[in-house]
Structure 1
Amino acid sequence: MEIRDLTPEDLDDVLDIRKRSFGPLAAGDADRWRQAVFPALGEGRYLGAFDGSRLAGAARLRQFTQWWHGKPQPMAGIQGVTINPEDRGRGLGTRLMRAVVERAAALGDAVSALYPATTPLYRSVGYEHAGAQHNVTLPAEALRQIRPSGQVKLRRMGPGDAAELVSVLHRVHAAARSSGPVTWDEGTWSLWLGIEDDFLYLAEDGFVVYRWRGDDLLVDNLVAGSGETARALWSMVGSASSIARNVVAPVAPDDPVLWLLRERSKEEVKQARWMFRVLDVAAAVERRGYPAHVTCDAVVTVEDPLLGGGTWRLEFAGGSCAATAVSEPGVVLSVNAFSALYAGVPTATLRMSGLMSGDERYDEALDTAFAAKPYMLDSF
């Protein structure tokens, strides 16, 4: 079995595997998928596993920007990991994912994330559960009752607004000190903003993308940098309450809309869990944001059989972290555990799960520095 880069000639076979794994794509969606994946072919971000000339499996590495405590960094989003039904159960998925992790590191990404169809495969190559996409169902009438001031100007947007939309996302996530959300590149947003059945509105510091789904409304994204913009966008979505019964939307765990509702008791929230992996410890901690008031240090040993581990002294100050290789005892973690710690999972949880050992004197410092409530608004 050979693992190599895919070419344009392989895309029909990839679509066939996707159909057998996830179900068929509509004709329009298949065309849009081809447009979206084509750039990845020349960037070394789409790998295939071949049995001779026959494609047996594939996996794509998407280019994202991910935010950690309001600071952006490049992130490899792993998508479309598919194995032919007749090739499953032979360890091919593990071999393919090992190649994907090595490729992501070679491309310079220090962190990676994915939405798992199964946990054991991804844990075996260093990923650990870190956060979720929180999809909440809200009564449309409750959103209609949110009263905006009328001062926020909303306009329809299209493919030509991709650059401005990305700029809004960067400003909002930085100001909110967000952890976990991802930003698509401008080219991908241009494709998404061209979908005819979506309703797209842009404000100076926010936007919304939503559509009908049966008798309900489905929000893809709603991001706001101010209370007034949040009120304007949510109330506009709720203005369809004479027809729509519910609105289903991905939100942050502490999204302001949950406090703007007049009535709030029971909520229906479905979580789509995502997993996270640190690929380069020193680069990942230096690219992350931290609370500006935190000044501390810790020694961590990270064991990574696939990419190689090491021991570092992490020094946190002024919202940044410096990593220096050392040879002294400290906290000991697998790369899975360090990835979870990076995403805000407490040291007590990691120790009780048997994922962390060693010197306990650094636990409070690590909890304080890496504290986070990671979430995503997008799935991939």
Structure 2
Amino acid sequence: MMPKFEYSQLIKEDIQRLGNILEQCFLMSPGGSEIFFNSIGLENFRVIRVGEEVAGGLGIILMPQWWGGERVPMAGIAAVGIAPEHRGGGVALAMMQHTVKELHAKGVPISTLYPATQRVYRKAGYEQGGISSIWEVPTQSILVKEQSLPIGAVVGNHEIFYELYQQQAKLNNGFVERDQSLWERIFKPDEKEGIYTYLIGCAEQPQGYIIISQHQDQDGSFIKVRDFVVMTTAAAQTFWNFLAKHRSQIQNVRWKGSATESLTLLLPEQTAKQKSTSYWMLRVIDVVKALEKRGYPPGIQAELHLEIQDDLLAENNGKFILSVANGRGEVTSGGKGEMKLDIRGLAPLYTGLFTPQQLQLAGQLDATETAMFAATQIFSGASPWMADFF
């Protein structure tokens, strides 16, 4: 017999059980799950039961995400954990399917997550949507001598950082509008760790910031850039000059960036290397809302005839016409269905992670030449990446 799954909000009686599951899943010490509960909020957790027993759970973080210069309401999925004795029985997939249906009922256009494994999320309609890369460069090789702007330590009030981040987020596809818990994660030090914060430019006309911590591992000493914003060329030069000044004590600098990191153009040689790369995943929850709330290149006027298949959400099935003009999109039902794809294939098209040609080669879509040309225009833009992990 197939097991019976029951999906529901977390109740008080389930907190300890779910906490134990998450601590085992994420190699945490006893009581460590409070970090998840406190940052995400108990009301935002869901559990799934097999019979009477809680078999797993997850957290939902509602936060807008920037696409084409517009904020799109998004649900981040975090702290997904299934008890070991219930793995392999379809519990995780059932939980994700229930979550997707709940989000659709609430009118959420898109959802993103960082997968430990892709297969279960793909079955729920998620696909690769963007990249998060860790870069490393030896301090001795930075050699940027220009410090065009003043840089000074900031203690206490970080409001100016929030404003600068918002300015940069709007320009980057995939950035989220951070809530307080994400900011606290940046500023909260780990044990035996100091965090140092600096403003680039004068207080009256700030042009960026850098937040760092210093570490030692088997490879030597390094600076971890926990967060940064550079809004001008002068700020980028000052950013590198400041990091180069640590070369007498620090061997390397590590920072999180996109797969194509434009900051490396300021370095004299190709000494910056990607230390690791991970793909985060996105699911289009509501086709019409997702396409209409996204921004598009302002100089484009085009029409794309889509035919979407979604095995989980019937409302997303059918033919749609996406009409783009003046940086905005309008969706109407019907059309020729010149680009056929399932809900998974729509995700990397929507984000611009891959071109329509690349997606067609990967078997993610089938389209006419006219539709391919229109989609290439419509979904062009900055390579999607995310500075935050959840």
TM (norm. structure 2) is 0.87
Deviation at 1:191, TM superposition (A): 5.4
Deviation at 1:50, TM superposition (A): 2.1
Specify the alignment match of 1:10 in structure 2. Answer: 14
- For residues 316-355 of structure 1, give each alpha carbon's deviation from its aligned partner in whole angstroms, at most 9, with x where no partner exists: 1111111111254322110001112112222222222222
1-structure distance, mates of 2:75, 2:281: 12
**Aligned amino acid, residue 376 of structure 1:** M
Change (3 A) 1:143 1:16: farther
Distance 1:239 1:12, change over 3 A: farther
Number of residue pairs the alignment of both structures matches: 370
Question: Contact 2:186 / 2:226 at 8 angstroms: preserved in 1?
Answer: no
Residues 68-217 of structure 1 aligned to structure 2 (within 5 Å): 68-143=67-142, 145-149=144-148, 151-158=149-156, 160-161=157-158, 163-174=159-170, 177-190=171-184, 192-195=186-189, 197-203=194-200, 204-214=206-216, 215-217=221-223
Corresponding position of 1:316: 324
Quick one: structure 1 residues 365 and 263, their matched pair in 2 at CA, closer, same or farther if it must change by over 3 Å? same
1:12–1:339: structure 2 CA closer, same or farther, 3 Å change rule? same
Q: Note closer, same or farther for the CA distance 1:370–1:94 as it changes in structure 2 (3 Å cut).
A: same
Secondary structure of the residue that 1:154 maps to in structure 2?
strand
Give aligned-pair identity as a percent.
26
1:287-298 map, 5 Å: 287-298=293-304
Aligned residue type for 1:167: E
Q: Which moved more, 1:307-316 or 1:197-206?
A: 197-206
Q: Which runs of 5+ in 2 are unaligned?
A: 201-205
Match of 1:340 in 2: 348
Q: Which amino acid in the other structure matches residue 166 of structure 2?
A: H
Q: In structure 1, what is the Cα distance between the partners aligned to 2:308 and 2:72?
A: 21
- More displaced stretch, 127-136 vs 345-354: 345-354
Q: Structure 1 residue 270: deviation in Å? A: 1.6
Are the aligned partners of 1:63 and 1:185 in contact in 2 as well (CA < 8 Å)? no
Change (3 A) 1:267 1:329: closer
- Answering whether residue 362 of structure 2 is matched by residue 363 of structure 1, we say no
Alignment match, 1:306: 312
Alpha carbons of 1:269 and 1:192: their partners in 2 closer, same or farther (altered >3 Å)? closer
In the alignment, structure 1 residue 285 sits paired with structure 2 residue 291: yes
Instruction: Tell me whether 1:350 sits opposite 2:359 in the alignment.
Output: yes
Confirm or deny: 8 A CA contact 1:208 1:222 kept in the other structure.
yes
C-alpha distance in structure 1 between counterparts of 2:29 and 2:145, whole Å: 37
Structure 1: how far apart are the matches of 2:245 and 2:321? 54
User: Which deviations, in whole Å up to 9, do the C-alpha atoms of 1:241-299 show, x marking residues without a partner?
Assistant: 22221111111334342011122257244211111111111111111121111111011
Looking at structure 2, the residues matched to 55 and 189 of structure 1 have their Cα atoms a distance apart, in angstroms, of: 31
Choose from 12, 36, 40 the match for 1:37: 40
Inter-partner Cα distance in structure 2 for 1:18 and 1:241 = 40
2: distance between equivalents of 1:122 and 1:334?
Answer: 14
Deviation at 1:137, TM superposition (A): 0.9
Q: Confirm or deny that 1:374 pairs with 2:384.
A: yes
TM-score (norm. length: structure 1): 0.89
Match of 1:273 among 251, 268, 279: 279
Contact 1:181 1:375 in 2 (8 A): yes
Shift of 1:153: 4.3
Structure 2: which amino acid aligns with 1:134?
S
1:4-63 per-residue CA deviation (whole Å, 9 max, x = no partner) reads 111355333333212221201587x6554442122xx33xx3111123553210111122
Kindly indicate whether the alpha-carbon contact (under 8 Å) linking 2:20 and 2:33 is maintained by their aligned counterparts in 1.
no
Q: Distance in 2 between matches of 1:25 and 1:164?
A: 36
Q: For residue 99 of structure 1, report the CA deviation from its aligned partner.
A: 1.3
Superposition RMSD on alpha carbons, in Å? Answer: 2.3
Gap change, CA 1:208 and 1:15, over 3 Å in 2: farther
Cα shift at 1:95: 0.2
